[in-house]
Structure 1
Amino acid sequence: MYVPILKNWDSEMKALRMLKKAGILPCEGIVPFIKIVEEDDAPTSRNWYKSIEKLNEFFADKSAFVDYHRCNLEDYRQVDMGKIGRIREMSAEGEHYLEALNKLADRENLIPVISIRSDVENPSVETIISHMEEYRRRHPGKPFCLSIDTNPENYSDIIEKMVETDYLFFDIGEKALPSQRIQLMRLKNLEPEAQTVLLNSPRKRAIKNKEYETHGETDLIDNSVRTEYQKLEFCGFGDFAGLRDDLKLNIKNGGFANASIFIYRNDINKFHVYMNPDSSRKVMGLRDISPLLQKDLPLLDPNGTCLALRQFREEWAKGNAGNFATWVTRTVVRYIQQIAENPH
């Protein structure tokens, strides 16, 4: 089972639409996990992905996990806080967070996930158990889902009440697997009946684009969870489909960014990177590195079946190099398609 974690922003939701239109999603074994960063259910809203009801309709063929994005706000002191009102609210008020999840649970195709994070205020164990009991009464047969990023023994009272149709996510974030040996053993010793999924964030936030290779495979993205989760007796794994777990909201960086393209290769479980070292080129830097990608297409897409690279070919033939948002979408499309076509 693969759980791609995506925020409900335009570029990431476009990726799901492309995959759905191509018939790659929905598919057995891939269940998206949508983190809500923006919400707008007004009838006049032009952005379908901000509407909870429209998200519910989008996943009519299959279910999706859903949660509100929560984070340590200290990590985003440079961000325009006016743009993350919902995130700030969900990160600071544990019980209000559960109330919001209750409303998500009312949508038949959305499966809410209670995320316990060590860097935000969380509901108490007793409150979560009470919520679980009410959830089961209101939604009989619907899976209950819990995500934790800390010592699982602290939540053993909840875990022992979970059943085989429930989901338990263990989120190691950016931590390397070997460093989590003790926590993983603690989780195993609890013998959870729920289906367990190992979440991680292989592409670290602290590594800037300029630190990657200008052209070639990179070891700076550790995708080992992709191949190790079954050995660790997890039912599935999840990650950000080649993206960072980042907000990117008006961060003051002087307006400069090293244009980069990340292409996942399932055959070696690594990313092929193209990076323009001249940050002054900004988005135009994509035009400079696109010829390198064009030359590598026989290696990266020998059969011409990759949706993302097919779009690149078509647009490049028209003289269009795309922008940063374009490549966010293509990164996600490429990654999910590779996994859909090569399940482990």
Structure 2
Amino acid sequence: MFSFIIRRLAVAIPTLLVLLILSFYLMQFAPGGPFTSERPLPPQVLANIEAKYGLDQPTWKQLLSYITGIVTEFDFGPSYKYKDRTVNDIIAQGFPVTLTYGTIAFALAIIVGGALGIAAAIRQNTWLDYFAVGFTIGAQVLPNFVMAPILILIFTLWLGLLPGGGWNGGQWNHVIMPVIALSTSYMASVARLTRSSMLEVLRSNFIRTARAKGLPENVIIWRHALKPAILPVVSYLGPAFVAMVTGSFIIDSIFSTGGIGYFYVNAAFNRDYAVMMGLTFLLGSMTILFNMVVDILYAWIDPKIRL
């Protein structure tokens, strides 16, 4: 297991470096710049601004300085548009917000979706199974950018129970709708995968053998069937995490939570490439790290993967 983790780390570190270099050069060659506008600045003013931010240096020197700052001080540099603020300040402000409701949404999708899928498989062809199938179909055709306005319409405009936006320090009434909007479709996917996988395992020969030996049904399900049944769900967690990260941009925009998605979209509109590069590297690093954790978890459940 240790050697498997080392191999995954050996792949993750170069991937991070490639991500950093690619994102840097994509920003460098993007049309326009952070200081270009409809009314061009005088050449002397533009030259002074570029010298202040080191943009007058050759591209390779800018890249080397950027990598050195990240590796030695975890410093992503100053923002081009937010006066007297660094990219680290923006990350420190927006990341806890996205992390809070994103973690709750991800955990809710796994726990509720997994429990619903298991219950539906155990009670196949009952009202619970029909409800689970109907829920998965309905929830998967409602993406978060459709679910969020529906929630605002019902719980804010019609019922007046929850605020339609803002964060207010992460109070529970501001967290509920972003969590539901972000988690519902992934909860349905987890339930569907868990149900189909559990049904397949329950029909397998080793489960028939366990039943023939007279083992209690709860022992068969929790000790013998659950572990192989959750393998497809574990493999889905990586893509689900990536989709949730991108989905948080929509949630931040609709609910005005002030998360990193809000800053990323604003940086794109304002051509604040420093903020875009910093957030791209942060989200890419989280994605690579989470996928590595999923691979390790999968290898722990199924030892054949380690070979």
TM > 0.5: no
Bigger Rg over Cα:
2
Q: So what's the TM-score if we normalise by structure 2?
A: 0.28
Pick the structure with more strand per residue.
Answer: 1
Structure possessing the higher relative contact order (Cα contacts under 8 Å, 6 or more residues apart): 2
* Alignment TM-score, normalising by the size of structure 1: 0.26
Q: Choose between structure 1 and 2: higher helix proportion.
A: 2
